[in-house]
Chain A
Amino acid sequence: MNVSILGLGLVAPGVEDGYRIRALPELADNRAKRMTRLERMALGAAQRVLPPGMETRDLALVFGTGYGGLASTADFLQGIATRGAAFGSPIAFQQSVHHSPAGQLSIMLGSRGPSLTLSAREISGESALQVATTLLATGRADRVLVVAADEWTETLAAGYRAFDCSAPPSLGEGAAALLLGKEPSPVSVERCTLTAHSCPILCYPTREQLSPLLLKGTRPGNGVDSVSLSAASVAVLEAETSVLAEVQQTHFLETALFGFHASAGLLRVVAAAMHVRDSPAGSGCAVHGLALGGGQSLTVVRHVRT
């Protein structure tokens, strides 16, 4: 599998913003004003990768999100709690659906190709990326827009706090987008491998479990010059660095500023692709992802020799 990256987009918090997006991107289309914050983040990332005037009618769209419209879900439940079960908000209900941002994107872009939403906890963006590469490989699409987005909400933060053990200090938000195709381009997704391990529902894979895929993807000879770590917890970070020490991989891409959220993996993939694009031809970067409940991903992006 070798998939060309034709465009990269990020909607990410600034250095001083504490992992939260303070100003949403300006969106030219007036219809965007009625969208939720999550949908605007997704659309903002998507607009950054689409060249002006690009034909989008047959574009395939794969959206990744761990928690979807959780703010809308909370709004809806708050409504039935305060106004009564008969008076739920129809708008909040439809916006609570995980596929809502993808539906909005297809309407805004006029895209009538395959449209999918994937959710895989903390590797939701990588799940979307992997499915997108399958759509390309099986000839179901010539171009796929991959977007992942998750937003910070008070409900989600409280949920993490309720389980002290898994409360990340850097709970954040963001959106990422990649335009994928088959025509040659300087940067490619060389592979995107997903696997999973038998794990308690609130635990990450152990060092022993995560080691084989991480080693396979980063060992000398694979041309991987740098690695973006999941660093989902202190224990995970220790496990990752000790495994990588075995193959003398010590060049880590600094992507911690994206914070921790279910789509952060795809933000790190975009950052890795930008990094290799600005590095000499042949450079490769591996992006490691881990999810509570056992999911693991390894994505390799490369500056292709042309």
Chain B
Amino acid sequence: MRGVAITGLGVVSGLGLGTEVHLDALRTGRRGLRPLSLFSLPELPALHVGEVDEALVSGQHPSRSIALALLAARQALAHQLLSGSGVVAVGTTTGGILESEQHYLRHRGQEGRADRELLTHHPAGAIADVLASELGLSGERHTFSTACSSSANAIGYGAACIRQGKPWALAGGVDSLCRLTYTGFHALKLLSSEPCRPFDVNRSGLSLGEGAAFVLLEDEERARSRGASVLARVAGWGCTADAHHMTAPHPEGLGALAAMKAALADAGVEASEIDYVNAHGTATLANDRAEGLAVRALFQSPGPLVSSTKGSTGHTLGAAGAMEAVFCVLALGAGFAPATAGLSKPDPLLSFRHVPPGGMVAPLRVALSNSFGFGGNNATLVFAGPTQ
């Protein structure tokens, strides 16, 4: 199987910091959702969100998104200095808006010089700039901002660059909680009043989350020559547009199906070889149903094990694709498929082979991860275990 070596992982979310903490939480079913405390909005309830522990972020950087990105990226690099000219690919939806929205709300679009520092890291591209400068990385910097598929596309692109001859790529994504997305998803009536329940017949919407995740991708020879372990491989990337509606997925999941097919073709694997699917699984009715139809159309019964880890982390928007990429690598490495936290009574209209409660120990060789976003954007990544 063709594939690009993954030699480093980093992740921070409402579950904590680091791969061990996350794998342990996925094994035990611990959830990272608690009532929002990062900011208060008088007219709205503090719903359950995947909020990162303040002690982890404190003192890292004035921009919360950059602080989260630095935490995860440092782990993925594990103190190595990367020589040569590589690629930094960051996925993000809102970048530094947590700070710049405070400037706007105070000054309503005027100069507000006294608070201008709040604007410094507003541009989405600033995250990659700070990461590269702080971590001493040289090469091209790209910021993918395709809503909730942002960081899946960043990883897919990073892998494409390695295949094209780049020595390394640091790829992943980040989004912090902010008023814009909290009130925006409320306006769309998509927020769940309780911790989210993906694929459950009693689901009532999504829970937001925040965090960052990065993978280090390397040319295989380079990885071997420095004695690095190959944790897994990015085997395929598929990216499509629904061309249907700005906020609703195609009702039959045609764009999602096309993205999965494109990723399988890119990886050179058959659908029957997929052992585990980390679904987009936001717990909104429209997404669950569309993804359900797409998965059913692709896989013959009984199909692969399927779960959504958004019940554990919340929906981390631009970070979700990278976070779930890290979870796929952990699942392949541990031979363990995590269950969908919050799922107790499966929606009978979804014919998934759900991972049973408590997760499932199973030899996993190939995993597929879906990420879909606003604007009808679909991204799928295929991961292969290190020995495939």
Which A residues are closer than 8 A to B by beta carbons?
61, 65-68, 73-74, 76-78, 80-81, 84-90, 93-94, 96-100, 102-104, 106-107, 109-121, 124, 127, 130-131, 134, 137-138, 140, 154-155, 158-159, 161-163, 194-199, 201-202, 262, 291, 293-295
Which of A61, A74, A106, A194 is in CB contact (< 8 Å) with B104? A74
Given the interface pairs A97-B93, A201-B121, the reply to whether A77 lies near B101 with Cβ below 8 Å is: yes
CA A273 to CA B317, docked complex, whole Å: 37
Main secondary structure of the interface of B (DSSP, over half): mixed
Within 8 A of A (CB), among B106-163: 107-113, 116, 119-126, 128-130, 132-133, 136, 138-147, 153, 157, 160-161, 163
User: B373: CB under 8 A from chain A?
Assistant: yes
- Asked if B145 and A67 sit within 8 Å, CB to CB, the answer is no
- Asked if B142 and A131 sit within 8 Å, CB to CB, the answer is yes
- Asked if B240 and A115 sit within 8 Å, CB to CB, the answer is yes
* Contact digits for B167-179, partner A, Cβ 8 Å, 1 yes 0 no: 0000000000001
A304 to chain B, nearest CB (A): 23
Main secondary structure of the interface of A (DSSP, over half): mixed
- Asked if A196 and B104 sit within 8 Å, CB to CB, the answer is no
Most buried by A among B123, B138, B163: B123
- Asked if A85 and B42 sit within 8 Å, CB to CB, the answer is yes
A-B contact pairs, 23 of them (CB 8 A): A65-B145, A76-B180, A85-B41, A86-B43, A86-B44, A94-B188, A97-B374, A98-B124, A99-B374, A106-B241, A106-B375, A111-B241, A111-B243, A113-B240, A119-B95, A121-B123, A121-B126, A127-B142, A134-B157, A158-B109, A159-B111, A201-B129, A293-B129
- Asked if A118 and B138 sit within 8 Å, CB to CB, the answer is no
Interfacial chain B residues near A88, Cβ < 8 Å: 183-184, 186-187
The residue on B at minimum CB distance from A101 is B375
Interfacial chain B residues near A137, Cβ < 8 Å: 164
Interfacial chain A residues near B157, Cβ < 8 Å: 116, 131, 134
User: B245: CB under 8 A from chain A?
Assistant: yes
User: B377: CB under 8 A from chain A?
Assistant: yes
- Asked if B119 and A159 sit within 8 Å, CB to CB, the answer is yes
Given the interface pairs A78-B108, A85-B41, A112-B243, the reply to whether A99 lies near B160 with Cβ below 8 Å is: no
Interfacial chain A residues near B160, Cβ < 8 Å: 134, 138, 140
B189 to chain A, nearest CB (A): 8
- Asked if A161 and B241 sit within 8 Å, CB to CB, the answer is no
Given the interface pairs A74-B109, A81-B108, the reply to whether A103 lies near B116 with Cβ below 8 Å is: no
CA A140 to CA B259, docked complex, whole Å: 12
- Asked if A93 and B188 sit within 8 Å, CB to CB, the answer is yes
B173 to chain A, nearest CB (A): 13
- Asked if B120 and A201 sit within 8 Å, CB to CB, the answer is yes
Given the interface pairs A88-B184, A103-B377, A137-B164, the reply to whether A199 lies near B129 with Cβ below 8 Å is: yes
The residue on A at minimum CB distance from B182 is A85
Which B residues are closer than 8 A to A by beta carbons?
41-44, 85, 88, 93, 95, 97, 101, 104-105, 107-113, 116, 119-126, 128-130, 132-133, 136, 138-147, 153, 157, 160-161, 163-164, 179-180, 183-188, 239-247, 255, 258, 373-377
Please name 5 further chain A to chain B contacts, defined as beta carbons within 8 Å, in addition to the given A96-B184, A106-B242, A195-B85, sorted by A numbering: A106-B375, A107-B243, A158-B112, A196-B88, A295-B125
Given the interface pairs A93-B188, A198-B133, the reply to whether A112 lies near B180 with Cβ below 8 Å is: no
Interfacial chain A residues near B185, Cβ < 8 Å: 93
Interfacial chain B residues near A194, Cβ < 8 Å: 140-142
CA A114 to CA B6, docked complex, whole Å: 24
B15 to chain A, nearest CB (A): 26
- Asked if A103 and B376 sit within 8 Å, CB to CB, the answer is yes
- Asked if B129 and A99 sit within 8 Å, CB to CB, the answer is no
CA A124 to CA B93, docked complex, whole Å: 15
Which of A80, A119, A131, A138 is in CB contact (< 8 Å) with B183? A80
The residue on A at minimum CB distance from B145 is A98
Most buried by A among B141, B147, B164, B188: B141
B123 to chain A, nearest CB (A): 5
- Asked if B180 and A114 sit within 8 Å, CB to CB, the answer is no
The residue on A at minimum CB distance from B42 is A85
Interfacial chain A residues near B88, Cβ < 8 Å: 196
- Asked if B143 and A294 sit within 8 Å, CB to CB, the answer is no
Interfacial chain A residues near B119, Cβ < 8 Å: 159, 162-163
Given the interface pairs A98-B145, A106-B241, the reply to whether A73 lies near B111 with Cβ below 8 Å is: no
- Asked if B143 and A119 sit within 8 Å, CB to CB, the answer is yes
CA A61 to CA B153, docked complex, whole Å: 13
Interfacial chain B residues near A110, Cβ < 8 Å: 243
CA A73 to CA B184, docked complex, whole Å: 10
- Asked if A109 and B243 sit within 8 Å, CB to CB, the answer is yes
Interfacial chain B residues near A117, Cβ < 8 Å: 144-146
- Asked if A112 and B139 sit within 8 Å, CB to CB, the answer is no
B338 to chain A, nearest CB (A): 29
- Asked if A155 and B109 sit within 8 Å, CB to CB, the answer is yes
Most buried by B among A87, A121, A196: A196
Interfacial chain B residues near A162, Cβ < 8 Å: 111-113, 116, 119
CA A100 to CA B247, docked complex, whole Å: 10
CA A131 to CA B144, docked complex, whole Å: 10
Interfacial chain A residues near B144, Cβ < 8 Å: 116-118
B65 to chain A, nearest CB (A): 13
Most buried by A among B110, B111, B112, B184: B184
A197 to chain B, nearest CB (A): 8
B317 to chain A, nearest CB (A): 10
